Amino acid sequence: MYSQLAWRNIWRNPRRTIVIMTAVIIGVFSMIFLCGLMRGMEVEMIRNNLATLTGNIQIHQKGYRADPVVENSMTDPVLLENAIKTNLPEGAAWAMRVRVNAIVSNARHSTGVTFVGIDPAKEARVSFIGKAVTDGRYLNSDDTNKILIGRALLDKFKTKIGHKLIVMSQDADDEIASTAFRIVGTFRAEMESTEKAYVFVTLSDAQKMLKLKNGISEAAIAFKGQSIDGQKEKALAQKLKSRLPDSIYKVETWPELLPMMREYLSLFDNFIYIWYFVVFIAMGFGIVNTTLMAIFERMREFGLLKALGMKPVSIIRGVITESFFLLVSGIIIGNIAGIITVFLINRTGIDLSALAAGVEMWGMPRVIHPELWIIDVITANLVVLVLGLVVSIYPAAKAARFTPIEALEKT
C-alpha cells in the first residue's frame, strides 16, 4: 500500500518530480562519466609508463636503482636468465638491457640522455620501441655502431638519418668512453620528453663501448593485463626472488619502480571520492529543498491523515518511500545515460592533443578512452541512494510533526 501511495503521490505534481529527478540523473551521470574518464586515464597512464622501458617487473643489481652507473651492473646474467626462463608465465616477454646515462653530441649540439643497449628482437616485445620507429629502420641484432634516436632529439640536433652522433659515458674501467654511432632511424613516443630522453643501440655495441663484457644493467619482464594494484606482478616477483640470491639481485614490480605513479594513482582514487561527495552535497540540498516544499504544500493532507489517526512513523515511512522511488528512477536513468555515453566515447576516445604540453608532465595519454569499473558504478549508486534517503529523513520528520490544528491554521 505504501509503495502504491508513494508512486501516485510523486506523480501528482509531475513538474516538481521531474526537476528533482533531473538533479539526481545529472548527479549520477556525472559521477559515472567522470569516473570512467579517470579510470581510462589511469589505465592508459600505466600502460604508457610500463611501455616506456619499465615493464611489469625489473631485476637489477642491488644498488643500481640508487646509483645507476656501470659499476652496479650485473656482470654474469646466466643465473638470472635461467631464473626468468623457468618462471616466465605464458605469453610474457622479457629482455636484458644496458642502461646508463650518457652525453650525445654532434658538431653544434650536445645533451644528456639515457643510453640504452637492447636486444632488438626481444625488446620489441617488451617495450614501446619495437612499434615506434617512424623513419629509417629499427635496429638489427647484427648492427654495429648504429643508433636509434627520438624524432624530437633529431630535430633538436638538426641532424638527419645517416649522420653521426658521438656518445660519451663512463665505462667499467672508470675511463671516459666515447664512440661514434650512425643514426639508422627515429622513433616517436607518446611524449616528447621520451623522444628526447632515450637513445638505443644494440646490446653488444653498448657492452663493447662500456667494456662490460657480458654485463647488463637490468632485465625487464612484461606481460599483458597489468593490474592496477600490482598483485599479479607480486606473485611472479615472489617466485623470482626465491630463485635469486637476495644479496645480489633486486626484483621489483612496477608499483615499486614507479613510486610517483603509485602515489598519483591513489591520489586519483581519493579525488574520485571527493568528487562523489561534492556532487552529492549539491544534489542533497536539491532533494531536501524540493521535498520540504512538497511537504509544506501538502500540509492539509498530512493534517488530515493525522486526524484520521495515522501514526507519525507511518507518515515518515510514506515520505521516505516517495524519496526512494524518486531516487531509484533517477539513478536508473542516470546509469543508462552514463553507461551509454562512456561506451560511445570509449570507441573514439577524447583527444587531448591540444593540451599535450600540459598533460605530458604526468605521462598522461593524448587520447583518453573512458572505462567503466563495476565497483565505481556500484559505489556511485549506493552513495546517491543511501545518502539520498538519509537527507530525506528531515522533511519526513517535519511532515510527521504536523498536528491537525496547525494544518487547519494554514489553509
- Catalog residues that contact other proteins under the rule CB under 8 A: 101-103, 105-108, 110, 112, 145, 159, 163-164, 166, 168-170, 175-176, 178-180
Q: Quick one: 175 or 297, whose CB is closer to other proteins?
A: 175
Indicate the pairing of strand 93-105 with strand 218-222: antiparallel
Min dist CB 167 to other proteins, Å, is 8
Q: Quick one: 103 or 337, whose CB is closer to other proteins?
A: 103
Min dist CB 114 to other proteins, Å, is 13
User: Could you give the CA distance from residue 396 to residue 319 in angstroms, rounded to a whole number?
Assistant: 5
**Number of neighbouring beta carbons within 10 Å of residue 188:** 17
Min dist CB 98 to other proteins, Å, is 16
User: Could you give the CA distance from residue 400 to residue 208 in angstroms, rounded to a whole number?
Assistant: 87
Cell of 124: 620489441
Min dist CB 104 to other proteins, Å, is 10
Q: Quick one: 209 or 221, whose CB is closer to other proteins?
A: 209
**Helix 259-297, helix 312-348: angle, nearest 10:** 140
Sequence letter at residue 161:
I
| Cβ atoms 168, 176 nearer than 8 A | yes
Q: Quick one: 168 or 228, whose CB is closer to other proteins?
A: 168
Q: Quick one: 93 or 166, whose CB is closer to other proteins?
A: 166
Min dist CB 105 to other proteins, Å, is 5
Q: Which residues pair with 112 in a beta bridge?
A: 103
User: Could you give the CA distance from residue 116 to residue 103 in angstroms, rounded to a whole number?
Assistant: 12
| Cβ atoms 223, 93 nearer than 8 A | yes
Q: Quick one: 54 or 159, whose CB is closer to other proteins?
A: 159
Min dist CB 70 to other proteins, Å, is 12
Alpha-helical (H) ranges within 52-94 are 78-87
Three-state SS for 227? coil
- Say how far residue 2 (Cα) sits from the centre of its chain: 45
Min dist CB 108 to other proteins, Å, is 6
Q: Quick one: 98 or 364, whose CB is closer to other proteins?
A: 98
Longest dimension (CA), the chain: 100
Q: Quick one: 101 or 403, whose CB is closer to other proteins?
A: 101
Min dist CB 166 to other proteins, Å, is 5
| Cβ atoms 270, 74 nearer than 8 A | no
| Cβ atoms 352, 40 nearer than 8 A | no
